[in-house]
Every structure is written in structure tokens, then in C-alpha cells.
Amino acid sequence: MSKEQVRARNGDEARPEDHSFEGDYRPPSPVPPKTQVRVEPLQTEFLVRLADALNTTLDLQTLMQRTADLVRAVIDYRIFAILLLNDRTNELRMRFQIGHTPEAERMRIPMGKGVVGQAALTREPVLVPDVTVADNYINVNPDVRSELAVPLIVKNRVIGVIDIQSEQPDYFQQEHLHLLKLTASRIGQAIENARLYTRVARQAQMLQVLNEISREITSILDLESLLERIGTLLRRVIDYQMFSIWILNEREQVLENRFALRFGERFYPEEKLPLDQGLVGAAIAERRLIHAPDVRKDPRYRMFNPETRSEMAMPLIYKGKVIGILDIEHTRPHFFNEDHERAITTLAAQVAISIENARLYQRVAQQEQRLEADLAMAREVQLRLLPAVKPKHTRAELSARFLPASTLGGDLYDFIPYESGRSAIVLGDVSGKAAPAALYAALVSGIMRSEATHRLSPSEMLKTLNDALQERHLDSQYVTMLYAVWNDENLTLQLSNAGAVQPLFCRDGEVETVKAEGFPLGLFPNVKYEEFTLSTQPGDSLIFYSDGIVDAQNAAGEMFGSERLAAVVKKNMHKSASKIADAIMTEVGKFQKTTERFDDETVIVLKVLSGKQAP
């Protein structure tokens, strides 16, 4: 059968012979009206270009712009939009548009509302030849006359809608619908891939920010500064409008606000929150994040800020125990998303640790302040236990210097007046340092003062002290002591030593060590002490000193030593007792320079005079 016969059989008019293949033949389309754009048949080239455009970028905005350009190449539109579905609110929002007003771009379209809402709800394309007679059209542009909306479906899930509008009625045809369906089937997956990539990149960036935040807040030990910094850093990952941190008051069993921001300004809530009410109460009870997308619909919500519409309350847990609540709020419903939930959950553990460390540091600092105050008072008491004045003798001058290694010292010295121109000279060194040594020194000093009324000889006094300390025995506590009695009438010095550093005796430029020994006080019971008597003459000097003098070290680890001490005494032998004592302390200080002292330094100098009255 010839072509003419076929056409005659089908009722077609005769047409000139052409040389095209039968497979290429298509019946003629009606001549479009003057205002209608003729669409050429969809070519493979368009799909290839579409695939290239979608496969060469993962940036969402670039992807949607390229889609819009390709669609414009085959459909001469003026108004175009890609709307994406918010799964939390079930609303469509424009993510890309051409030709729409700002008001239209800001709209949130619920599923089923309007042409695009219908397309998303029914999961089918919607072509409206004349929107003026459509019941579901949302009139945001009075010039629009026709509309075509095609849903974006990925893995049987609607993710958005492509929407094209025209100012001419009956502008869009079935060819346009078919073309847009092909475009939508491909762009849907590309958009989902781009959103996934964006989400992963955003999560990676957020983790990096959270890591930086964690490192920074762990270095802040002042609680007030820490809470303020947490509020500032948290805004880098969550654009909240209200932020507060509540700390648990265990004694009253309430939450007390320690830091709060409201629209960027600091405010100070005085109200205390009960532990069993509101979203914070639910967070404490369930020990997990409580997220209320719309507080007006959550029966657990207890109004604190009237403007609040969405809220997240995260318990701060340290070692299995809730220590507080981190709460953020916003005036927009459904503002917080899964990324925000992950961020606050990840950060909460580090915030709890940092807060607890800061509170611990604060408690330690307060205890240190109290201790410093107590030590200052104890030092004042200790200094008052030292002799306020030196005994005045006609033929002897006495001088003393005392420098503790810390606030409190373990060295003690005293001058006790006896009758008939006699005075006791005491230098002791308690084992240990700081407060324990100072307390033990006060104990020894008190016993000694009470026994001094009996005017005991040096050996008797040391034996009495040792017996008394044995009655009050403390493990590992003892005291070394030199006890001497100066007789101003015959220029003699009676001396007994209980393990103290042996004193120096200087005469005519020669410096010798007084060989007096004995057991420390408080170590052994029933100890007897030897007693020596030194006969002196004018110009002689006796140097009593603690081991902190000779054991003083410089930066190289060298000790000051007895030889340097003897040299200082010899060099200053013609000076007064006060100047000899000053010279010793000055030379020891120069030797140590900036090296920290590790032991108390005490010096007592007795200078024998030739005149009838001490200078």
C-alpha cells in the first residue's frame, strides 16, 4: 500500500512527497496563537546538558541556577521557583526564585495549600490554564494567569516543587509539563545529593567549631567569665535569641540562674526554678535533651519568656550527676533543627566539666584566701611571741634577726630576764616548716616561759622541756635548742645544747666553734644535758644561728656554709652586735640572690662590751 493510499484511508489530505523516514514523521501541531511559544520536541541534547549541569556541582544554589537556565532554554518563562519541603514544619519554602516579589519569597506554604501545595500533597504535576478560576490558587501576584507545578520526588519522598508561572492564560502545554517532569525527576536527586553534601560539610564545620569551643572553655577557670564565654561561643553554631545557664542548688533543691542573655543583652532573673516543672524539669527527670518545636503546643512548658516559641533544654551532667541546665530559646516556632540538637548535646558534656572545674577552682581559691587570712593572723601571733625588747646589760649588747622561709616559721628565739644582771638567750629550730612547725614552736615557747620563773640553769631547762614534750609526744616532731644564761657581772655564759647548730666564738680575729652537743628535745625520754661555761672579755662576740644560715643555697646549688659565715663575722668583728647581725643577713641574701629560701634564717649576736653602759 502506498503512502497516498494510507493517508486516504486515514482521511488525511494529500501532501507533497518528502524524503524523511517514516519513523521521523509526526502529525502537524496546531498553529499556536500569537501569544504562545512553540516548544520543539525534547531532544537528547537537552537531557545530556541537564545531566552535565547536575553532575558537575554539589553547591545547591549553583545547581538550582543551572536548572533554571536550562529550563529557560526550552520554556520561555518569566516567573520561576524551586520550593523545598521542611520536614519538621511540613511547609514549602522558596529556596530559589526568578521574578517573584520579596513577600512571595518569604512565604511558607503548607502541604495541600495552593497550586504548589497541591502538587506536593498529591505527588502529581498540576497545570492550571487560568488561575483566576482555580479555587486553590494563592494570589500573591495579580498579574499571573497560568501556572505549572511539578513535585520533586526522591526515593518515593516529596522533597519540593518546581513551579513556573506566566502572565498569559493557557501558556503552558502538555509538552511543557512533560519536559518539567523529566527535569524534576533528575533535579530531585541532584538537590538531595547537594543537600546531603551541604549537611555533611556543615556538620564537619560544626564539629571543628565545637572542638575549638571545647579547647577554649577548658582553659577558663573563672566561673563568671566561663559562662559568659560559653554564651558567646555557642552563638557560632546556634543563632539563639535567649540563652541561660541554671545551676543546681542541692541544699534547696532548686535551679538558680548563673548567666542569662536575652536578645543579646545580659539580664538577671531572680526567680528560682523547681526541679520537677517545665521543660527543664523534664530534661532533669529524663536526663536528656528536651526539644519543644512550638512551646504553645507542649503541655510541659512553663512560661518564663513570653516571646519564646521554640526551646531546647539540655541537662549538664558531671560524673552521672545533673549539676545544671543549659537552655536556649527562639521567638520563631520550629527554629531549632537536628544539627542544633547534635551541637548542644555534644557541647553539653564539655560545658559540664568546665563548669565543675571552675567551681572547684573557685572553692579552692576561696579556701586559699581563708587560709591566707588565717596564716597572716598566725604570723602576727607568732611575731608577738618573739621578744618585743632586748635585755639591757652594762657589759653586753644583744641583737637578733629572724627571716621565715614562708609565712610562718619553725625557728624561735627568746630573751628571758633572770635576776642579778642575768638573762637567758634561747634559739630553737622546730622540725618541719610552716604552720605545723609554728604551732609546735608556740607550744615549746609556752612551756619554756612558764618554767623560766624558776630561773633554771641551761641544762635543767632543757631537761625540763624534754620531759614536758615527752608527755605531749607527737610523732616525728622535735626541736633543737641552744639555751644560754649570760652573767653581766662576771662576763660568763652558761650554755647547753639540745642538738642545735654549735655557736661561733670570736676573739681577736679568731673564730672558733663552741663544741657543745646534745639530743634534740622531744625525741627520747630521761635525757640529761651537759652544761658549759664560757669566760669572755670585752670585744668578744658569740654568734647563735639556725641551720638556715649555713644551708642557704645559691642558683648553682652551693651552700653558704660555715666558712663564709666565719669570714663575715671576722670581717665585722669590731662592729656592734646589731651591725654584725645585719652583715650576716645581708651576705646570706646576696649569696642566695633570687633563689627561694627553703628554711628559716635566725641569728642572735652577743657582743661583750668594755664600757660601763651599753651603747
pLDDT attached to residue 19: 35
Cell of 90: 511540613
Q: Is the dihedral of CA 458, 461, 467, 469 positive or negative?
A: negative
pLDDT under 70: residue ranges of the chain: 1-56, 203, 375, 378-379, 381-383, 406-409, 433-434, 611-615
How far is residue 105's CA from residue 99's CA, in Å, rounded to a whole number?
10
By the 8 A CB rule, do 401 and 602 touch? yes
How far is residue 550's CA from residue 568's CA, in Å, rounded to a whole number?
12
By the 8 A CB rule, do 95 and 83 touch? yes
Cell of 189: 536527586
- E strand segments, 205-300: 242-249, 254-262, 265-266, 273-274, 290-292
DSSP 8-state class, residue 206: H
How far is residue 560's CA from residue 544's CA, in Å, rounded to a whole number?
16
- Cα–chain-centroid distance for residue 150? 52
- Cα–chain-centroid distance for residue 454? 64
pLDDT attached to residue 386: 76
Strand partners, 314: 326
Work out the end-to-end distance of the chain between its first and last CA atoms, rounded to an integer number of angstroms: 154
User: Long-range contacts made by residues 508-517, C-beta under 8 angstroms, separation at least 24?
Assistant: 508/539, 509/570, 509/573, 511/566, 511/569, 511/570, 513/562, 514/542, 516/482
Nearest to 595 by CA among 530, 538, 548, 542: 548
Tell me the per-residue pLDDT of 320-345, one tens digit each, with 9 for 90 and over.
Answer: 899 999 999 999 999 998 888 988 88
Cell of 200: 555533611
- Report the relative pairing of strands 310-318 and 321-330 from DSSP bridges: antiparallel
By the 8 A CB rule, do 227 and 250 touch? no
Sequence letter at residue 42: L
DSSP 8-state class, residue 264: T
How far is residue 287's CA from residue 275's CA, in Å, rounded to a whole number?
12
**Other Cβ atoms within 10 Å of 28 Cβ, number:** 6
Nearest 10 degrees: Cα torsion 505, 506, 507, 508: 160
Radius of gyration of the chain (CA): 48
DSSP 8-state class, residue 596: P
Three-state secondary structure readout of 290-353? EEECCHHHCCCCCCCCCCCCEEEEEEEEECCEEEEEEEEEECCCCCCCHHHHHHHHHHHHHHHH
By the 8 A CB rule, do 400 and 603 touch? yes
pLDDT attached to residue 233: 84
φ, ψ at 320 (rounded to 5°): 75, 5
pLDDT attached to residue 467: 92
By the 8 A CB rule, do 47 and 182 touch? yes
Q: For the chain, give the longest Cα–Cα distance.
A: 163
**Percent of residues in the chain assigned helix, strand, coil, to nearest 5:** 40, 25, 35
Cell of 403: 627571716
Q: What is the pTM assigned to this prediction? A: 0.50
Sequence letter at residue 175: E
pLDDT attached to residue 575: 94
DSSP string, 497-513: EEBPPPPEEEETTEEEE
Nearest to 497 by CA among 486, 481, 478, 514: 481
